[in-house]
Amino acid sequence: MTRYGFIGLGIMGSAMAANLARAGFDLTVWNRTPGRGAELEGLGATVAASARQVVADSDITFAMLADPAAARAVCDGDAGVLAAMAPGKGYVDMSTVDPATALAIEEQVTRRGGAFLEAPVSGSRKPAEEGSLIILAAGNRDLYDRSLPALERLGKKIMHLGPTGNGARMKLVVNMVMGQMMAGLCEGMALAGASGLGVPDLLEVLDAGALANPMFRLKGGLIQRGDFTTSFPLKHMQKDLRLALALGEQSGQPLFAAAATNELFKRALALGLGTADFSALASAVDGFRRP
């Protein structure tokens, strides 16, 4: 039986690891902040003392970390991932990072004889809990095939996009579009309210036509109620926009709308909204009026 590890038990990682534990996988978990593994232990997972122990006790280790700095940091040191990496072991990094970070981690893993796969996901808390994420994998094809039994418990659509770096690129493009959609929704709701229109009427019109989509349908109602319970932290969206802009710079592709959206998210950060849901961007839009 394949032994699995999971590193990173935040909003996304805890839900994903729970799905693996409930499915009966042999699972060892660890989080940088102590205490996050208690629920998973109750589901049958083993809580490790370090990232190194997770990798030592697992054939394939998954990681879901906040940003490139965290993804790199968990690999380093005597208690890190690389300290236990060895031939036959696989490391699947599901964090949202830039392509350079994914390639750097791959180089370190393969230098020690391990196999590397990047597999960032599209989706937030609810899809993570439901096992309905979209998984954007790239890199070692053999490890992809070996990881599929677990990945199929985590996602409703799993794609292999080619060499390492393509998963990161795809995730940044997707989140760049999503951030701009959220900015458009918040400004549209603000303008509707400021001009005397009913915001519920706007949402009904949007949902009836070509602009209908699950995000508007869910977040529009929550924004109206001022409910910014965190499914995807605003600070992470701003991080992804920043990384997308850097990818645009590297690729020679102007990103005018994304740059403006990033400035709006930066304003929201300055207002102290970083740990709220990214829909809290509405609070940074001038003139926004809650009904």
- pLDDT, one tens digit per residue, over 140-153 is 999 999 999 999 99
Angstrom distances, CA of residue 164 to CA of 92, 228, 274: 11, 34, 30
As a whole number, mean pLDDT of residues 28-55 equals 94
pLDDT value at position 234?
A: 97
Give residue 117's domain range. 3-163
- pLDDT, one tens digit per residue, over 217-254 is 999 999 999 999 999 999 999 999 999 999 999 999 99
Mean pLDDT of the chain: 96
pTM: 0.93
Active-site residue, from 89, 157, 171, 239: 171
Same domain, 17 and 151: yes
33 Rama class: left (phi>0) / alpha (psi -120 to 50) / beta: beta
Tell me if 289 is assigned to some domain: no
Same domain, 133 and 179: no
Structure token digits, residue 267: 């304003």
205 Rama class: left (phi>0) / alpha (psi -120 to 50) / beta: alpha
Per cent of the chain over pLDDT 70 is 98
Confidence of residue 286 (pLDDT cuts 50, 70, 90): confident
Look at residues 102, 184, 107 and name the one whose alpha carbon lies nearest to residue 136.
102
Q: Is 7 helix (H, G, I), strand (E, B) or coil?
A: strand
Confidence of residue 287 (pLDDT cuts 50, 70, 90): low
Same domain, 23 and 85: yes
pLDDT value at position 291?
A: 39
The answer to whether the CB of 176 falls within 8 A of the CB of 241 is yes
- pLDDT, one tens digit per residue, over 28-39 is 999 988 888 889
Look at residues 178, 176, 203 and name the one whose alpha carbon lies nearest to residue 192.
203
Say whether 126 is catalytic. no
The answer to whether the CB of 29 falls within 8 A of the CB of 48 is yes
Same domain, 7 and 137: yes
